[in-house]
Amino acid sequence: MTGTSTSTSTWTIVHTATHLADVILGSIADILGHLGIDATRLFSSWSQDESAISAWIAEQSLESVVLECHRPSGIVSPILEFPVTYTVGGVADKTFTADRASLARYLAKLESVPKGTTFRLFVTFCKSRTPQPGWSTATRAGTDGMRSSSFGTLAGAPHGSASLRYLTHR
């Protein structure tokens, strides 16, 4: 008698959402650390923020996560945007990726910020979304006159990907 075994693996949008939320928040933590900005608030609300971002990605309502750096002078710079894109259905053989090595090289190009710089996180949406604890309506800083550069794809998975865009004053 010979035995037969089979294995099935299914990746859902929930897996993708969890992966992308983790990569986005992890990248924000790396950026804050590199810039010397106190990330205590980020870590204290990590679970709540990760849950909210993941839920919005799963329902495909999240357009981007935005990190604003508020300098003591009142200038908001840099601003880092993490746009999320969605694909129709997942590709069965697509892998979960995160380009952390490229992010580390990219961090070296970021301008420094003065001591006392703080941060704010925002999210933007491409359609109506489910309200999440700890998140409320707020107004982002303007980006007129800022120079923009793209990091490219930060992370990918079946059903979607996240990229990084960097804005700074000229």
pLDDT-derived band at 17 (thresholds 50, 70, 90) equals very high
pLDDT-derived band at 5 (thresholds 50, 70, 90) equals low
- pLDDT value at residue 59: 95
Residue 131 preceded by cis peptide, ω within 30: no
Better-scored residue on pLDDT, 92 or 57: 57
Strand order in the sheet with 146-157: 97-98, 146-157, 160-169, 76-86, 62-70, 118-125
Residue 85 has pLDDT above 50, yes or no: yes
pLDDT-derived band at 88 (thresholds 50, 70, 90) equals confident
* Mean pLDDT of the region 163-169: 91
* Domain extents in the chain: 13-138+151-169
pLDDT tens-digit map of 105-161: 778 878 899 999 999 999 999 999 999 999 999 999 999 999 998 888 888 888 889
- pLDDT value at residue 93: 42
Q: Are strands 76-86 and 97-98 parallel, antiparallel or unpaired?
A: unpaired
pLDDT tens-digit map of 26-79: 999 999 999 999 999 999 999 999 999 999 999 999 999 999 999 999 999 999
pLDDT-derived band at 6 (thresholds 50, 70, 90) equals low
- pLDDT value at residue 99: 65
Topology at the third CATH level for domain 13-138+151-169? Cell Cycle, Spindle Assembly Checkpoint Protein; Chain A (3.30.900)
What are the Cα distances from residue 125, in Å, to 29, 44, 72?
Answer: 22, 24, 29
Place of tokens 């929930």: 14
- pLDDT value at residue 8: 42
The dihedrals phi and psi of 125, each to the nearest 5 degrees, come to -125, 150
For 3, half-sphere exposure in the C-beta direction (CA atoms, 13 angstrom radius) is 2
